[in-house]
Chains A and B, each alone.
Chain A
């Protein structure tokens, strides 16, 4: 592998506490090193910003519901097709780009890792086929557990050990990365057209509450010592007043301590918190609950969150929260797709237009920015758009602009049709904080990497870490003349080196890199009861045999990177 030396750049690296110092970064054999030989290729980063590759903690980029979105929204391709160009395959789609376009777009913005946020286990092969076809970026996928019949049955009897054994088995056969929970219990209730809107609503037939599911899964997660914590999309998403359910959910983490060897400190990751921070009783008196949510998270160190920023675009919502999508189609009357998955989960897809002329959408935009601006520790709050739910991931540079420039926020607020309502229903007008480049590196690199248990591998520029290095056309010594320059600089990096290979030069793809699939290989104690339960469920209730369930072989995971967890003690 070739050697590189990136010279004279302004380096921002929270892992080493470097805040814009002029330093050289050396790369050899895919890793950051102290020094390289004189033959190393020199990349001049004078007057530029150098950061580690960004880490996406939550996006819907591969799998059945993403592809259902592509299939049923030809209109998303209008004006968004890109032709074959050099080594770039052709692409299409704005809110749900094709796999190739997804990989290129992430790389062009300097992302090295992206996590697919919801993998229905029965469809793991589909998820992995799409991941395989997404070039450059390393990806992992979170199988969903919050409505799984095994989990519901074990946790009803507080069988943490059995739940853990089942999780270990599932991560192994689906090549999954973490424990994802979506609308715990509510999606199973959706099998009968029902829902669970609070943490105490019992799940039909299974007679367990969302609170018991969440607590049990957190405990099982720590029992195994997985790299990431339980990653939750709580009940009651998107409804006025839902912040109380969110607080109830987070309170379940009280007293639970992280147990792992990866340096992760949280036991609960609250995803797309913007959608869970609503006060009010209806869409008329709808208001921000960002303060209540961030106050709680600021005080409780065993929780991390991501934002779920609304980008004011036409997009495609998709979630394993089946009942929510049915509710949403009732609100906006756009086409509704749904897929219930036997024994495991469900999913829904509905297009959505976040119009700046609609007060609710503008308030959602403001809440998404309030949360990161109110969070005291940027290492525990990560920027996402819950792609494509609150907006496409390609809009990250615009979100950075809003966060880094009060002027840009003001401009946006002034352009809203219901400006006064946005200011009266949220605290956005009073927030003058501007996120610094160092804080941005915490929120998009070091923070999410630590939360995912990848802190020793990515998210920083310390020698020994993976050589994912992004160089942006921003000179931190000079004040930003126009906030749009921030957006422009982060949209296309000057250079991006992924695992020691330069993949982007002047915003263009120059290599397809060596994409990896990240998964967690748990060695757990043998558990004959769980093995027997699994065999029984396959014989009686699945529509597939157990021997055909596992995603095996080169075709699905051609370049695996297994993170080993030993849970036998």
Chain B
């Protein structure tokens, strides 16, 4: 007999769907089927069952080969590495739970490390803009129940957050939006034609890198002031038409993604997008929300903030928390060669950082804690495979709208495998002894 587990949370993207159903074998050791999740989420669950999974920590040998070691030895290596380093970097945290993040922060405090999460290469610019100008936002259920104007700017949820549109933003029939998609106008701003833009009522195919100008032009159009014939490749009449669409809604929402956060102008784009949202609140009700990527990158920012006071790129090397993105952010630390030990967990900088920064990782002692084989595990000296969070262990995670949802354990990890939290506790206890901390 198999068992069906309902209300499972999908540990893939910031949409954090919590209606997934998983079928497991009677002994709870095999995960057989996944229902309700998108293809990516399904794959994440099923991937945990792959036969070629690494189940033991592996230490790189002088000849380049890997040697299997025990978790004890791996914790010893990690603690010694952190204890001996002057400026260790502890990066990642976005694909693990808040319990592990919390233990990680204790470690970072004892080791006086720099701590950073994947916002550094994603929505960190959003956070800087929020620090400039604020953030009128809402939970995703508000969008479902009220929104009649939905704008996707520089993002493509059809591929990146596949169930976002059906659960929250375009299709659902909410309390005040009984006609579902029919009750909403969809505007997509993207230089590309995407599967999201194909659904739009209006697709503004903007010139690449001209987001700031278009956002600014929309603010001008709202006020009915003069506009040049075209801005960012969009004719003035079109801009005025869209401004009228935005203004005429009862409740609007702007979702934005990496197309604006990591293109030319970076945080200034977001400043302007938030200013547009603020302006729209003079006429009707508007919110704005970043489309966060990893399922718990938001949680990492939250835990950093309540424990250290800052959401990412926190530098603890002086014994208290400092924050100065550009100086204390991971890529900058690595490319400047300041990092003398690299600790990666729940993310893959090897695949996403510029090669100059990845070379910085390869040069120093390094640990990668990740259930998968990744480019980062490939360049690290020690790879510690762990249980899949959200599949083989539970733990709290924060959705892109900051709503916390407790992930579920649905299947046992392979025998003897530890979770992120369990391994980090081993490292913390060893590090405390090495450093003589209280």
Contact = CB atoms under 8 A, between A and B. Distances in A.
Contacts of A540: 174-175
B350 interface: no
A81 B301 contact: no
B402 A339 contact: yes
A338 B320 contact: no
Contact of A193 (B284, B309, B323): B284
A339 B287 CA distance: 8
Contacts of B171: none
A175 interface: no
Interface stretch (B133-141, B197-205, B259-267): B133-141
Interface residues of B, number: 66
* Interface size range on A against B: 35 or more
Contacts of A123: 402-404
A93 B307 CA distance: 10
A333 to B, nearest CB: 11
Interface string A341-375: 11100100110000000000000000000000000
Chain B: interface secondary structure? mixed
A563 interface: no
A351 B405 CA distance: 29
Given A342-B139, A542-B141, A193 B175 contact: no
A552 B406 contact: yes
Interface string A173-193: 000000000000000001111
Contacts, number: 193
A555 B136 CA distance: 30
B42 interface: no
A133 B306 contact: yes
A340 B438 contact: no
A255 interface: no
A453 B18 CA distance: 37
A100 B303 CA distance: 12
Contacts of A190: 285
Interface stretch (A37-45, A71-79, A104-112, A245-253): A71-79
Nearest to B288: A338
A543 B318 CA distance: 42
A91 B105 CA distance: 12
A296 to B, nearest CB: 35
A555 to B, nearest CB: 6
B139 A122 contact: yes
Nearest to B304: A71
Contacts of A130: 306
A129 B174 contact: no
A126 B303 CA distance: 10
A545 B7 contact: yes
Contacts of A67: 302, 305-306
B317 to A, nearest CB: 11
A116 to B, nearest CB: 13
Nearest to A512: B438
B167 interface: yes
**Interface-central residue, B137, B251, B406, by most chain A CB under 10 Å:** B406
A335 B132 contact: yes
Interface in B119-143: 127, 130-142
B7 A547 contact: yes
Contact of A86 (B6, B127, B438): B438
A474 B130 CA distance: 45
B311 A191 contact: no
A329 interface: yes
B353 interface: no
A481 interface: no
B402 A72 contact: no
Contacts of B308: 90, 92, 98
Interface in B322-371: 322-323
B138 to A, nearest CB: 4
Nearest to A553: B406
A70 B301 CA distance: 11
**Interface-central residue, A82, A329, A337, by most chain B CB under 10 Å:** A337
B13 interface: no
A1 interface: no
B208 interface: no
A87 to B, nearest CB: 5
Contact of A129 (B109, B138, B320, B396): B396
A342 B142 contact: yes
Given A74-B310, A541-B145, 14 more contacts: A66-B306, A71-B310, A83-B319, A90-B109, A92-B320, A122-B141, A129-B306, A149-B175, A329-B134, A341-B139, A342-B139, A342-B142, A342-B144, A540-B174
26 contacts: A67-B305, A68-B402, A71-B131, A72-B131, A74-B309, A76-B309, A84-B110, A90-B316, A93-B309, A99-B306, A149-B175, A329-B134, A337-B135, A337-B136, A339-B137, A339-B138, A340-B138, A340-B139, A340-B142, A342-B138, A342-B139, A346-B138, A350-B134, A540-B174, A552-B406, A555-B406
Interface of A: 62, 64, 66-68, 70-74, 76-77, 81-84, 86-87, 89-93, 98-100, 122-123, 125-126, 129-130, 133, 149, 190-193, 205, 326, 329, 335-343, 346, 349-350, 540-545, 547-548, 551-553, 555-556
In the complex, the 6 A-B pairs of residues with the closest C-beta atoms, listed nearest first: A342-B141, A335-B134, A92-B309, A543-B141, A340-B138, A193-B285
